[in-house]
Amino acid sequence: MRTLNDEISSLNSKNGKVRLASVAVATPPYRISQAQAAAFLVKHYSDKLSQRSLAILRKIFAHPSVSQRHLAVEDLECLVNEYPDSRVARFTHWAVDLSSQAIVKALNQVGLKIDDVSGLVVNTCTGYICPGISTYIIEKLGLSNQIRAHDLVGSGCGGLVPNLQVCEDMVKGYGDKVILSVSVEICSATFQMADDLSLILSNAIFADGVAASVLWHRPQGLALVASASRYDPKSRDDIRYIYKNGQLHNQLSAFLPEIVSKTVAKVVMDLLKPRGLRIEDIKHWAFHPGGEKVINAIRDEIGLSETQLQATRNILAEYGNMSSPTVLFVLRRILDNGIAPGDWCIMIVFGAGLCAHALLLRA
């Protein structure tokens, strides 16, 4: 029987901010340096690349902005002429396994058990299975078969914030319940190689990883103060997956840094201006690390310091671009470095669409 104190606690929860209670990450064990990745591509695909493309490849892979990455493979050789069915099986295995690892970590951080979870939202853009990844996670971890679960697709690298927006709405609707957010990308499951600058660049920065978070109405965690989103469909072809012969190929425009930086600046102001906040009021910035040139363009457009970008750059160097979960790797690093009570933090993602999303957080 619910007591009066229980009712008051529930009412207070519903009136308070939804909070990001924990952030946990997971990567596959296979780690590769940029030199190893470049050697693999030259070994297997040099006959398909022009001399100019080979020179570009060597230059990009030698750039210090990325030093190593994690891939969901036993060995790189499996990527050569990988059968589509094998690729889907590999995506499914690693997506479910790594998501489960991250979920357990996220729950342990706040002393929760599997039975405490009432909702699950999973987003990905690097593989499609039906039923979705959520059903496999429910089975593997023994989540309630009455759980409310959603699978989100198609947002590319920008998928994390829409995921959290759905989770926030679920927490508000459920009162004092616990909702899990999972962002999982096995970018190696979209590996392609040809004499194409988009593919050369993609193979130099993309990697595999998962991030999971607990959201609730309890006092602990970062408050989700507000969010903002912008879409620019006319720039859709500047950042997207396209199908060729039934398989996904990444497409990136040379104009992407300029396009992204201007859209990001607009969505940041959409978030700050109505609340009377300024750029200088925000101490912590967690950006999706979409690449060195993109980070630099955003820095210059918004007017940030290198100190404010350090966590973003460090994650890019250590993990590469894991698409949608990467920004939570950045936030995890910021949390590990310490956020003081009252500090503001903005988390920014962008990706296919073209979309840009910003989330205002406060400790």
Least confident of 153-167, 177-191, 250-264, 267-281: 250-264
CA 133 – CA 155 distance, rounded (Å): 16
CA 260 – CA 358 distance, rounded (Å): 13
pLDDT tier for residue 353 given thresholds of 50, 70 and 90 = confident
CA 90 – CA 110 distance, rounded (Å): 31
Q: Which residues pair with 180 in a beta bridge?
A: 120, 214
Q: What per-residue confidence (pLDDT) applies to 260?
A: 86
* Three-state SS annotation for the chain: CCCHHHHHHHHHHHHCCCEEEEEEEECCCCEEEHHHHHHHHHHHHHHHCCHHHHHHHHHHHCCCCCCEEECCCCCHHHHCCCCHHHHHHHHHHHHHHHHHHHHHHHHHHCCCCHHHEEEEEEEECCCCCCCCHHHHHHHHHCCCCCCEEEEEECCHHHCHHHHHHHHHHHHHHHCCCEEEEEEEEEHHHHCCCCCCHHHHHHHHHECEEEEEEEEECCCCCEEEEEEEEEECHHHHHHEEEEEECCEEEEEECCCHHHHHHHHHHHHHHHHHHHHCCCHHHCCEEEECCCCHHHHHHHHHHHCCCHHHHHHHHHHHHHHCECCCCHHHHHHHHHHHHCCCCCCEEEEEEEECCCEEEEEEEEC
Q: Does pLDDT of 139 surpass 50?
A: yes
Strands 68-70 vs 117-124: parallel, antiparallel or unpaired: unpaired
* Ramachandran assignment for 342, one of left (phi > 0), alpha (psi -120 to 50 degrees), beta (any other): left
Q: How many CB atoms lie within 10 A of CB 192?
A: 16
Q: Which domains does the chain have, with CATH numbers?
A: 11-216 (3.40.47.10), 222-362 (3.40.47.10)
Q: Does pLDDT of 36 surpass 60?
A: yes
- Report whether the peptide linkage leading into residue 341 is cis, meaning its omega lies within 30 degrees of zero: no
* Among 268, 248, 261, residue whose Cα is nearest residue 190: 248
- Report whether the peptide linkage leading into residue 354 is cis, meaning its omega lies within 30 degrees of zero: yes
State which amino acid sits at residue 275: R
Look at 195 and 3; give whichever has higher pLDDT: 195
* Among 181, 175, 226, residue whose Cα is nearest residue 362: 226
Q: What per-residue confidence (pLDDT) applies to 180?
A: 98
Q: Give the tens place of pLDDT for each residue, 71-101.
A: 999 999 999 999 999 999 999 999 999 999 9
CA 64 – CA 349 distance, rounded (Å): 23
Q: What per-residue confidence (pLDDT) applies to 253?
A: 67
Q: Give the tens place of pLDDT for each residue, 218-227.
A: 999 999 999 9
> What is the average pLDDT value for the chain, to the nearest integer?
91
Q: What per-residue confidence (pLDDT) applies to 10?
A: 46
Q: Are 21 and 216 in contact (CB under 8 A)?
A: yes
CA 291 – CA 114 distance, rounded (Å): 36
Q: How large is the average pLDDT for residues 229-244? A: 76
- Read off φ and ψ for residue 218, nearest 5 degrees: -80, 165
- % of the chain residues with pLDDT over 70: 93
Q: Give the tens place of pLDDT for each residue, 277-334.
A: 999 999 999 999 999 999 999 999 999 999 999 999 999 999 999 999 999 999 999 9
Q: Does pLDDT of 5 surpass 80?
A: no
pTM of the shown model: 0.93
Q: What per-residue confidence (pLDDT) applies to 123?
A: 97
